[in-house]
A and B are shown apart, each in its own frame.
Chain A
């Protein structure tokens, strides 16, 4: 009897106690981990750049009349988590004259892997130095073997006061077919 008692009682108590201990231990360890993960995931709950308003890029007279593209920096407010800086380059665009009062704008970022596209040496289009994505002057994919999933990202433009070129500057996700603003 005495032997029975010693084996039985601790094991029943042991099961309950074990569950309780596991629960408490899970809480004590799970709480700080969950809190930390919540903080870590904070960026997911934030929107990216605010939908950018039009930014003044250049004067029309700065663009060659023959429609050759020119590269311009985009000066705007840069928000780096807590640091805000005004009037600093946040990206760059190619501008190209289409006519007397019409301008085309492309983001310089290659839609393939995010490198900066350059004007091709012959001037007949754009070439990405990283993986040789080739684009025509109109921004479309020029070479069927080009690794870029889509053409250069066109940006909305506006001519103000007949002379100022304003561009709605945006960045897009790279490596996907569709143009998804970030």
Chain B
């Protein structure tokens, strides 16, 4: 019982007090991290093909997993915040003076340790945010003179971010750094029980037993921290503002830059500061500035021996806090006003939603990882391929597929809903046919099709109009669009009539097009299977094939025949244009 009494009933010189709860609260946040961290580790798999997947599974399929992860991530931020605030408080209240200079120096070691834990933790979920925000410190490390490149290679386990980067970061994050921080915090807790003032002076207040006076205060403060953390995690869920807790973006992709990569909020000040350093000198800002700040802080107990020194210390602490706050505010407000940043955030969110939807799909996650799902997904890759290869002439719903607006006016058709009834109806509209969404920008702007629509269709009788509507339904049904399946099934009779009408002289289609019967004189694209997967795939592969435009082809490159794109990419473009992609029945 004596050790027990020693631990709990030990007298604290100077009595109990709220200010003395700091070290206990810091110990508690560490305990919270150790416990949640251990259970997170029981779900984590550290390789580039399983890290994101294991975190995804924990977050969305393990009951309570999202809360576990949320508490861990938010408490990590709380710990840095508490350490920084405590440091400020100690500096301003001059509690760094002898005999407490050792406590103060220990605190200066604990803060970088907590930051190192955060930085190593960011990478572990291996999503776009973690990957790109860990890349920056890693690159900065590589810029350290002399030892930088070697240090970077050792830390990453190679010259690229790889399986070894994750295993090394896991080892640092779960063993070495927590061990150092934990021991440091225990030591700090022991040290802070020393009297605040010179022991030889008579105590101002009588000593009190640690239990219960101080224990009660420690417990109240710890519960307050836990409640605050829970509040931050749960608030977005309660208000419907999101999932709550830390986000999980799409799996890390070294080839797909994440334009909204930012460090955690408490490091934004450094991020903003580094922007003021010209290229190549950032390392001085990233290493030099924090080193100087730490050195000045470490000198406080000695500088503070003089009255002027004490004033300098207080001014420095206040200035440091104010400067960090100002830099953080600048960074936040710049991002808020930056449309490119906002667009990058939106795109990253969309890709993340897609990655989660595909991962929760019936095929699950393949052994190569969830990134493969995105690479094979028409909805994800289609717009990127379209923007890169098609949008210099075509548009998709008026934009380049990704929402951007190319500088030049469109010189080919708008391919949104290509092959659908609405698209064909617009093509056969006398006003629209030579507009920018169809033949307006092409060499066919005064071609036979345009002339037929502008003169022939414009003068159609009501009965002919009704027949044309059936022809449109029939041609559109050739595409077998997934989104139009219900409509096609419903109108089977009209579609059958339409197929007969295509060949009639009244409708004049087969004057130029062939339909279901080979016609060597055909001078316009084949209507057999028009817009179907095979048709569109072959068209993109080679529009100059006799079945399509032949020698009359305008400017469209033969993407397949000339090996501009591989078959997989043409397939992705085809499926995207036909809106043939996996649609989840519900959220992930």
Residues of A within 8 A of B (CB): 13-14, 17-18, 20-22, 24-25, 27-29, 31-33, 35-40, 42, 45, 79, 81-86
Contacts and interface: CB of A to CB of B under 8 A. Distances in A.
B63 A21 contact: no
Interface in B364-398: 364-367
Given A18-B212, A39-B65, A32 B35 contact: yes
Interface string B205-235: 0000101110110111011001000000000
A41 B198 CA distance: 53
23 contacts: A13-B212, A14-B211, A17-B212, A24-B222, A27-B223, A28-B222, A32-B32, A32-B36, A35-B68, A37-B39, A39-B42, A39-B63, A39-B65, A42-B63, A42-B64, A79-B364, A82-B359, A83-B50, A83-B53, A83-B365, A83-B366, A83-B367, A84-B363
A39 B58 contact: yes
Nearest to B52: A82
Interface residues of B, number: 41
Nearest to A45: B63
Contacts of B359: 82
A28 B211 contact: no
B365 A82 contact: yes
A81 to B, nearest CB: 6
Nearest to A29: B31
Interface in B38-65: 38-39, 42-43, 50, 53-54, 56-58, 61-65
Given A42-B63, A45-B63, A82-B364, A36 B211 contact: no
Nearest to B75: A32
B271 interface: no
Nearest to B206: A6
Contact of A32 (B56, B57, B62, B71): B71
Contact of B226 (A28, A36, A38, A45): A28
B357 to A, nearest CB: 14
A35 B63 CA distance: 10
A82 B56 contact: yes
A32 B62 CA distance: 16
Contacts of A86: 363
A82 B211 contact: no
B474 to A, nearest CB: 38
Nearest to B229: A32
Nearest to B362: A84
Contacts of A35: 36, 39, 64, 67-68, 71
Nearest to A79: B364
A85 B49 CA distance: 14
Interface string B233-270: 00000000000000000000000000000000000000
B203 to A, nearest CB: 16
B28 interface: yes
Interface of B: 28, 31-32, 35-36, 38-39, 42-43, 50, 53-54, 56-58, 61-65, 67-68, 71, 209, 211-213, 215-216, 218-220, 222-223, 226, 359, 363-367
A148 to B, nearest CB: 33
Identify the 5 closest CB pairs spanning chains A and B, nearest first: A84-B364, A36-B39, A17-B212, A24-B219, A18-B212
Contacts of A33: 35
A40 B39 contact: yes
Given A17-B213, A82-B364, A36 B219 contact: no
Given A24-B220, A35-B67, A82-B57, 7 more contacts: A17-B215, A18-B216, A39-B63, A40-B42, A82-B56, A83-B364, A85-B366
Contact of B53 (A14, A31, A40, A82): A82
A32 B39 CA distance: 10
A20 B226 contact: no
A152 B152 CA distance: 56
Contacts of B220: 24
B63 A38 contact: yes
Contacts of B43: 39
A20 B216 CA distance: 7
A13 B68 CA distance: 36
B212 A81 contact: no
B211 A18 contact: yes
Contacts of A32: 31-32, 35-36, 71, 226
Contact of A39 (B54, B64, B222, B363): B64
B363 A36 contact: no
Contacts of B56: 82
A90 B405 CA distance: 51
Contacts of B68: 35-36, 39
Contact of A21 (B32, B53, B211, B365): B211
A21 B219 contact: yes
B562 to A, nearest CB: 35
B367 A85 contact: yes
A49 to B, nearest CB: 14
A116 B39 CA distance: 34
A14 B43 CA distance: 43
Contact of B28 (A20, A22, A28): A28
A17 B216 contact: yes
A36 B35 contact: yes
B62 A31 contact: no
A157 to B, nearest CB: 28
A114 B364 CA distance: 28
A76 B53 CA distance: 22
A143 to B, nearest CB: 41
B397 to A, nearest CB: 34
B365 A39 contact: no
B547 to A, nearest CB: 36
Contacts of B61: 82
A85 B56 CA distance: 18
Contacts of A14: 209, 211-213
B1 to A, nearest CB: 16
A100 B264 CA distance: 71
A28 B223 contact: yes
Contacts of B211: 14, 18, 21
B358 to A, nearest CB: 12
Contacts of A38: 63-64
A42 B62 contact: yes
Given A28-B226, A83-B366, A36 B216 contact: no
